[in-house]
């Protein structure tokens, strides 16, 4: 069984959006604002800098009792001692990730359709990420947006924690939660925010009204 985690406010990092502040500083501020889970997403870093960044963020996250997940790269997750890995449909298999990282690792899987969600039901994963819910400029290689109805449909198929990602912001987040999502995966709405701490607080307030 994986270690416990709270998917409610799930920050996915983006180096470009962090700008001169740097990823670590934005993550630190966002954690102060109430982020409950962090995913390090790096598409251009070489292996060693990626591992170093993961270790740095792990220390920052663990200081506040929050797990760190690494996007895509099972080897980096293992080398850095991260708490788990988030996989896409074309990444390493769930079985390979579980074998490498062990039973305690948090393993998440993106699904881009109801069919993929149905196929994920039997997999040894800890949460499903419905992606993308809305159109988003942060990731341009995704499927057509699922919309709120897609979130509802996937919710009906699984009792695993369901995270929504893609175009989530303070204006639509409550609707996403009401559609059945357990968590909000946020990129630009926090990473690019002038005040990441306050941006995170705005999302956390939704927990009390949901």
User: From residue 103, how far is each of 13, 56, 95, 96, 106 by CA, in Å?
Assistant: 25, 23, 11, 12, 8
Q: Strand 183-186 and strand 37-40: pairing?
A: unpaired
In this prediction the pTM is 0.96
40-76: per-residue pLDDT in tens? Answer: 999 999 999 999 999 999 999 999 999 999 999 999 9
**Catalytic site residue from 15, 56, 139, 207:** 139
How far apart CA 172 and CA 31 sit, in angstroms, is 21
**How does pLDDT run across 64-73, given as a tens digit for each residue?**
999 999 999 9
Catalytic residue from among 2, 28, 41, 188: 41
Which secondary-structure segment (H or E) carries 11?
Answer: strand 9-12
Q: Grade residue 140 by pLDDT with cuts at 50, 70 and 90.
A: low
Catalytic residue among 2, 28, 58, 110: 110
Residue whose pair of structure tokens reads 């690792």 in the numeric block: 105
pLDDT over threshold 90, residue 138 = no
Instruction: Answer with the residue of higher pLDDT: 31 or 92.
Output: 31
Has 160 been annotated as catalytic?
no
110 labelled catalytic: yes
What pLDDT, on a 0 to 100 scale, did the predictor assign at position 23?
A: 98
Domains of the chain and CATH, by start: 9-209 (3.20.20.70)
Cβ distance 125 to 109 under 8 Å?
yes
pLDDT for residue 3 is more than 90: no
Question: Which has the higher per-residue pLDDT, 140 or 208?
Answer: 208
Active site residue 15: no
Per-residue confidence (pLDDT) for residue 85, from 0 to 100:
98
For CA atoms 157, 158, 161, 163, give the dihedral sign.
Answer: negative
């Amino acid at each position: 069984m994986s270690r416990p985690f709270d998917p409610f406010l799930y920050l996915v990092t983006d180096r470009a959006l962090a700008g001169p502040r740097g990823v670590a500083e934005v993550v630190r501020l966002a954690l102060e604002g109430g982020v409950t889970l962090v995913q390090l997403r790096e598409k251009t870093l070489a292996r060693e800098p990626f591992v170093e960044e993961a270790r740095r963020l792990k220390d920052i996250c663990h200081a506040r009792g929050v797990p760190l997940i690494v996007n895509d790269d099972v080897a980096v997750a293992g080398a850095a001692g991260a708490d788990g890995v988030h996989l896409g449909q074309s990444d390493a298999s769930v079985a390979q990730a579980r074998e490498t990282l062990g039973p305690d690792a948090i393993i998440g899987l993106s699904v881009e359709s109801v069919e993929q969600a149905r196929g994920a039901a039997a997999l040894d994963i800890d949460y499903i990420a419905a992606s993308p819910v809305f159109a988003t400029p942060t990731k341009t290689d995704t499927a057509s947006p699922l919309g709120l109805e897609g979130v509802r449909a996937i919710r009906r198929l699984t009792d695993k924690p369901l995270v929504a990602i893609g175009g989530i912001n303070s204006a639509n987040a409550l609707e996403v939660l009401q559609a059945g999502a357990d968590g909000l995966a946020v990129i630009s709405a926090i990473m690019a925010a002038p005040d990441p701490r306050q941006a995170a607080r705005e999302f956390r307030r939704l927990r009390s009204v949901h």
